[in-house]
């Protein structure tokens, strides 16, 4: 066997004339042993085929430093400031250690991705960039993670408006505040400096923006937990949860991926104004499932149901007639609710707040938060209802009503209310009486009580009737003064004549005022004067009373009757004279006849 060595470094081994075997020499060894001087001087020629083979080997094994593709290099040396990287090129490259801050454990032999930044600097050194290579590769990896849904690790660098900045593969990505966790985050700073898992949810290629989410990973886990929890839900089941959110109408509880609502009325047996009086955010507590819809997406929870109902704990010694103390928790127009024990309330109806019979608003007697004492009037443990009274703590003013307010007695009261038919007057707390509109004045015709008095006025009254069983008093005001119509009955008797002026022409007649109390009516036919004309408004004349009714306060007068009566008198006088003449004449004839008869007797 014969062996020869070519210039190109290729060894040929001849085993037989018809067979030739080629052995390829390593390019690095070839370059090390090649005599470049002889080659450049033309002393040693290289065959074109051998030179082409060498160029192919170089192209295949060495990196083209003009290419901008990312290549992998090996750390071969580390200084205080730089890392020396072998990328299998003509020379080794350098990278500042600042580009490896994210990897403080970098060591010799580590594989790193680099991009050729400068082919040769002033010293002829090959300058590489790990940061640029990471950025190029990072975009490829980020896009791949977005397309595949892969979970990536990221380092939370700092806070920013609306969220956080996260380093993902060397790219600064935005983590919105709403995507940090499934529950609201109040302290963002607790995440700064942490390495967390994320999901790439959005990429804007035009502006090179990347949005990541940690919440999406939690939701995926929660969804699995949710399915498991929902499948096991049953009414009456007691679960542990965490207060997730508090609103004015209730509290949302996280049951481990499933949210439930405790309505404000199911938080406590006592009345509360806001749920934060009972619970606080992130508080752990046990709750009971009250109800849920068909797909169990809306779960109604209860907290107070885990405690014994206060009514069941109410002592048996509590009974009707007992005095109790409590706090006013709610006020309505019809009454006030008093909490006499935690979760046990009684109603004081407004009618039980005062002995007064004219009802007022409960706010006139009590205010929310007041501590009051009351008497138990009714008690129903099955229905869990209790009625209370305040007025029962004081004596009933109607007990000795006949002694204090006998019929005919006079008193001073306060006008409390009006109706169309009369006035309610309070004589004392709990003692009210009614004055009918007809008993307000002897003389005035009143259409509504407000024409005569005002609410709050003091008024002199006389007790007219007393109904003890019905608790009713009938009062009168006009009875406290003398009835002027008793005097007017004599002064303005039928047939008396009075002078007055026509005040008003009304339908079917006119009115005249004899004084401030008496207004008389003159029918149209009684307005006629002696000359045949009628009296007009403003004219004064004499009028004769032709009707006087004290009970109905009705007075009717006539002007015409005055001269008509005179005429009738004259007619009667003339008739009387004629009658007397006739009687005298006839009498004389009788006397003559009688005298004649006597004379005739004498002759005989």
Quick one: what percent of the chain has pLDDT higher than 90? 17
Q: What pLDDT, on the 0 to 100 scale, is given for residue 8? A: 38
For residue 159, which of 189, 195, 118 has the smallest C-alpha distance? 189
Distance (Å, whole) CA 163 – CA 202: 15
For residue 218, which of 181, 267, 252 has the smallest C-alpha distance? 181
Give the H/E segment covering residue 147: helix 130-148
DSSP state at residue 136: H
Give the H/E segment covering residue 566: helix 560-603
For residues 130-148, give the mean pLDDT: 81
Confidence band, pLDDT 50/70/90 cuts, at residue 252? very high
Quick: pLDDT tens for 150-190.
Answer: 888 888 989 888 888 988 887 888 988 888 887 777 788 88
Task: Give just the sign of the alpha carbon dihedral 168, 173, 177, 182.
Answer: negative
Q: What pLDDT, on the 0 to 100 scale, is given for residue 251? A: 93
Lowest mean pLDDT across 41-55, 210-224, 232-246, 432-446: 41-55
Lowest mean pLDDT across 191-205, 466-480, 568-582: 568-582
Q: What pLDDT, on the 0 to 100 scale, is given for residue 243? A: 92
pLDDT over 80 (residue 222): no
* 573 phi and psi angles, rounded to 5 deg: -65, -45
Q: What pLDDT, on the 0 to 100 scale, is given for residue 35? A: 63
CB environment 310-328: b (16+ within 10 A), e (fewer): bbeebeeeeeeeeebebeb
Q: What pLDDT, on the 0 to 100 scale, is given for residue 12? A: 41
pLDDT over 70 (residue 16): no
pLDDT over 90 (residue 475): yes
Classify domain 323-393 at the CATH topology level.
OB fold (Dihydrolipoamide Acetyltransferase, E2P) (2.40.50)
pLDDT over 90 (residue 523): yes
Distance (Å, whole) CA 460 – CA 183: 74
Distance (Å, whole) CA 22 – CA 27: 15
Q: What pLDDT, on the 0 to 100 scale, is given for residue 230? A: 77
Distance (Å, whole) CA 320 – CA 69: 96
Task: Give just the sign of the alpha carbon dihedral 127, 130, 135, 136.
Answer: positive
Residue 190 sits at the vertex; the CA angle it makes with 185 and 196, to the nearest 5 degrees, is 90
Bridge partners for 422 per DSSP = 436
576: alpha, beta or left? (left if phi > 0; alpha if psi -120 to 50): alpha
Q: How far is CA 330 from the centre of its chain?
A: 17
- End-to-end Cα separation, the chain, in angstroms: 243
What is the Cα Rg of the chain in Å?
62
Question: Which residues, other chains included, contact 216 with Cβ-Cβ below 8 Å and sequence gap of 6+?
Answer: 179, 199, 201
Q: What pLDDT, on the 0 to 100 scale, is given for residue 111? A: 87
Confidence band, pLDDT 50/70/90 cuts, at residue 359? low
Confidence band, pLDDT 50/70/90 cuts, at residue 315? confident
Q: Please tell me the CATH superfamily of domain 71-134, with its number.
A: Nucleic acid-binding proteins (2.40.50.140)
pLDDT over 50 (residue 549): yes
- In order of 418, 437, 479, the CA distances from 451 in angstroms are 11, 11, 19
Secondary structure, 3-state, 153-190:
EEEEEEEECCEEEEEECCEEEEEEHHHCCCCCCCCHHH
- The residue with tokens 């009717």 is 556
Secondary structure, 3-state, 39-63:
HHHCCCCCCHHHHHHHHHHHHHHCC
Task: Give just the sign of the alpha carbon dihedral 562, 565, 571, 577.
Answer: negative
Reading the block at residue 49, the tokens are 């085929």
CATH class of 233-306: mainly beta
Q: What pLDDT, on the 0 to 100 scale, is given for residue 470? A: 82
Q: What pLDDT, on the 0 to 100 scale, is given for residue 30? A: 63
Residue pair 555/485 in contact by the 8 Å Cβ criterion: no
* 225 phi and psi angles, rounded to 5 deg: -65, -40
pLDDT over 70 (residue 62): no
Distance (Å, whole) CA 496 – CA 503: 20
Confidence band, pLDDT 50/70/90 cuts, at residue 422? very high
338: alpha, beta or left? (left if phi > 0; alpha if psi -120 to 50): beta
Give the Cβ contact number of residue 535 at 10 Å. 21
Distance (Å, whole) CA 525 – CA 561: 10
pTM assigned to the model = 0.43
For residues 15-41, give the mean pLDDT: 54
Confidence band, pLDDT 50/70/90 cuts, at residue 22? very low
Using a 10 angstrom Cβ sphere, with 0-12 exposed, 13-18 middle and 19 or more buried, the burial of residue 112 is buried
Distance (Å, whole) CA 117 – CA 510: 124
In this chain, the answer to whether the domains covering 149-218 and 233-306 adopt an identical fold is: yes
Q: What pLDDT, on the 0 to 100 scale, is given for residue 17? A: 41
Distance (Å, whole) CA 363 – CA 154: 63
Reading the block at residue 344, the tokens are 């046990």
Question: Which residues, other chains included, contact 31 with Cβ-Cβ below 8 Å and sequence gap of 6+?
Answer: none
pLDDT over 70 (residue 444): yes
pLDDT over 80 (residue 424): yes
Bridge partners for 556 per DSSP = 521, 547
Quick: pLDDT tens for 253-271.
Answer: 988 778 889 999 899 888 8
For residues 6-16, give the mean pLDDT: 40
Classify domain 149-218 at the CATH topology level.
OB fold (Dihydrolipoamide Acetyltransferase, E2P) (2.40.50)
Q: What pLDDT, on the 0 to 100 scale, is given for residue 2? A: 38
Bridge partners for 114 per DSSP = 71
Distance (Å, whole) CA 289 – CA 280: 20
Distance (Å, whole) CA 564 – CA 453: 46
* 67 phi and psi angles, rounded to 5 deg: -85, 135
What's domain 401-480's architecture? Beta Barrel (2.40)
Of 184 and 289, more confident:
289
For residue 285, which of 251, 253, 241, 244 has the smallest C-alpha distance? 241
Q: How far is CA 314 from the centre of its chain?
A: 34
* Domain residue ranges of the chain, discontinuous segments joined by +: 2-61, 71-134, 149-218, 233-306, 323-393, 401-480
pLDDT over 80 (residue 90): no
Distance (Å, whole) CA 31 – CA 57: 12
Q: What pLDDT, on the 0 to 100 scale, is given for residue 566? A: 67
* Strongest mean pLDDT among 256-260, 433-437, 470-474: 433-437
Bridge partners for 487 per DSSP = none
For residues 126-135, give the mean pLDDT: 79
> What's the whole-number average pLDDT of the chain?
80
Confidence band, pLDDT 50/70/90 cuts, at residue 409? very high
Q: What pLDDT, on the 0 to 100 scale, is given for residue 20? A: 38
């Amino acid at each position: 066997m014969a062996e020869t060595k070519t210039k190109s470094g290729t060894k040929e081994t001849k085993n037989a004339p018809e067979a030739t075997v080629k052995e390829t020499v390593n390019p690095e060894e070839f370059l090390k042993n090649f005599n470049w001087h002889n080659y450049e001087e033309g002393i040693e020629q290289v065959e074109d085929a051998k030179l082409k083979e060498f160029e192919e080997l170089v192209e295949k094994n060495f990196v083209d430093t003009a290419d901008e593709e990312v290549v992998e290099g090996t750390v071969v040396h580390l200084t205080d400031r730089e890392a020396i990287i072998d990328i299998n090129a003509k020379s080794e490259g350098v990278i500042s250690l600042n580009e490896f801050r994210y990897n403080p454990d970098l060591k010799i032999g580590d594989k790193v991705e680099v991009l050729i930044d400068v082919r040769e600097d002033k010293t002829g050194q090959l300058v590489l960039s790990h940061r640029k290579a990471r950025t190029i590769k990072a975009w490829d990896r980020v896009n791949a993670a977005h397309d595949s849904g892969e979970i990536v690790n990221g380092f939370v660098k700092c806070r920013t408006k609306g969220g956080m900045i996260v380093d993902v593969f060397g790219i600064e990505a935005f983590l919105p505040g709403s995507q940090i966790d499934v529950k609201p985050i109040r302290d963002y700073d607790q995440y700064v400096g942490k390495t967390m898992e994320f999901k790439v949810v959005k990429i804007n290629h035009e502006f090179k923006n990347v949005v990541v989410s940690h919440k999406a990973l939690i939701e995926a886990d929660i969804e699995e937990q949710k399915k498991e929890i929902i499948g096991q839900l049953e009414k009456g089941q007691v679960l542990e949860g965490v207060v997730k959110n508090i609103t004015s109408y209730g509290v949302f509880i996280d049951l481990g991926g499933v949210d439930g609502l405790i309505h404000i009325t199911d938080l406590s047996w006592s009345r509360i104004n806001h749920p934060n009086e009972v619970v606080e955010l992130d508080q752990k507590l046990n709750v009971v499932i009250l109800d849920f819809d068909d797909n169990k997406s809306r779960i109604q929870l209860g907290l107070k149901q885990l405690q014994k109902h206060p009514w069941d704990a109410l002592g048996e010694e509590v009974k009707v007639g007992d005095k109790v103390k409590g706090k006013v928790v709610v006020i309505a127009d019809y009454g006030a609710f008093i909490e006499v024990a935690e979760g046990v309330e009684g109603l004081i109806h407004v009618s039980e707040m005062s002995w007064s019979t004219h009802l007022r608003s409960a706010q006139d007697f009590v205010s929310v938060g007041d501590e009051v004492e009351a008497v138990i009037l009714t008690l129903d443990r099955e229905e869990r209802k209790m009625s209370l009274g305040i007025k029962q703590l004081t004596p009933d003013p109607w007990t000795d009503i006949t002694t204090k307010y006998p019929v005919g007695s006079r008193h001073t009261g306060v006008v409390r209310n009006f109706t169309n038919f009369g006035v309610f007057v309070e004589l004392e707390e709990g003692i009210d009486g009614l004055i009918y509109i007809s008993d307000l004045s002897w003389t005035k015709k009143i259409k509504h009580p407000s024409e005569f008095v005002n609410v709050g006025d003091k008024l002199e009254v006389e007790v007219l009737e007393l109904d003890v069983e019905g608790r009713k008093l009938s009062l009168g005001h006009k009875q406290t003064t003398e009835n002027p119509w008793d005097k007017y009955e004599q002064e303005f008797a039928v047939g008396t004549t009075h002078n007055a002026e026509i005040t008003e022409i009304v339908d079917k007649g006119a009115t005249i005022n004899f004084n401030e109390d008496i207004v008389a009516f003159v029918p149209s036919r009684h307005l006629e004067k002696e000359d045949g004309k009628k009296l007009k408004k403003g004219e004064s004349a004499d009028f004769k009373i032709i009707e006087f009714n004290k009970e109905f306060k009705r007075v009717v007068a006539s002007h015409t009757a005055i001269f008509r009566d005179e005429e009738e008198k004259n007619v009667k006088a003339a008739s009387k004279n004629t009658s007397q003449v006739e009687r005298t004449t006839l009498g004389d004839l009788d006397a003559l006849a009688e005298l004649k008869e006597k004379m005739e007797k004498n002759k005989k």
